[in-house]
Amino acid sequence: MATSSAAANLATNSASMALAKGKSNANSHHPSEASLKRKRGLFTKELRIMMYGFGDDPDPLPETVSLVEDIMVDYVTEMVHKAQDIASRRGKLTTEDLMFLVRKDSRKFARVKELLAMNEELKRARKAFEVDEEKLAALD
C-alpha cells in the first residue's frame, strides 16, 4: 500500500498536472448537482502507474487507488474553488490564480512552473512540426 508521503506526492503531482493543463471552468462559481457527481475510476489507470512510480505495489489494491483518487479530486476541486474566489472580480479563472494559491509551497510552485514551461515547449514543437508539414505539402 502507498505510504502517506507517497500519497501526498502523488496528489501534489496530479494537482500540479491538472493546474498546468489549465482545464477549469470559471463560468459558474457554484457547481450544479449534476456536475458534483463524477465518474469514479476515471483516473484509475494513471493513478496506478503513478502509485507504482512512487513505490507502491505494481498491482495496488483497488480500494487504495480509489482512496487516492478521491483525495486527488477533492484537492483539485478545493483548489479550483479557491482560485475561482480569487478570480471572481475579473470573471475569468487563469493559471496565475492557481499559481497564487501554491506560491508558498515551493515544491508545488516549482512543479507547476516546470509543467507550464514544458507545455509551452510542446506547443512550440507542434507548431514547428505543422509548419514543416505545410512546407513539404507545398513542394509536392
Find the distance separating the first CA and the last CA of the chain, reported in whole Å. Answer: 57
Ramachandran assignment for 134, one of left (phi > 0), alpha (psi -120 to 50 degrees), beta (any other): alpha
* 8, pLDDT greater than 60: no
Q: 84 Cβ partners below 8 Å, 6+ apart?
A: 24, 26, 29, 93, 97
Q: Choose among 21, 17, 11, 13: nearest CA to 93.
A: 21
pLDDT band, very low/low/confident/very high, at 140 (cuts 50, 70, 90)? low
* 4, pLDDT greater than 50: no
* 105, pLDDT greater than 70: yes
Cell 484537492, located at residue: 75
pLDDT at 134: 75
Q: Tell me how far the alpha carbon of residue 74 is from its chain's centroid.
A: 12
How far apart are alpha carbons 112 and 3 in whole angstroms?
Answer: 23
Report the pLDDT averaged over residues 95-124: 95
Residue 22 or residue 110, greater confidence: 110
Q: What is the pLDDT of residues 25-80, one digit of tens each?
A: 434 445 545 455 677 889 999 999 999 999 999 999 999 999 999 999 999 999 99
Cell 469514479, located at residue: 40
Retrieve residue 42's grid coordinates: 476515471
Q: Where are the domains of the chain?
A: 4-139
Contact 19, 112 (CB under 8 A): yes
Contact 62, 69 (CB under 8 A): no
* 16, pLDDT greater than 70: no
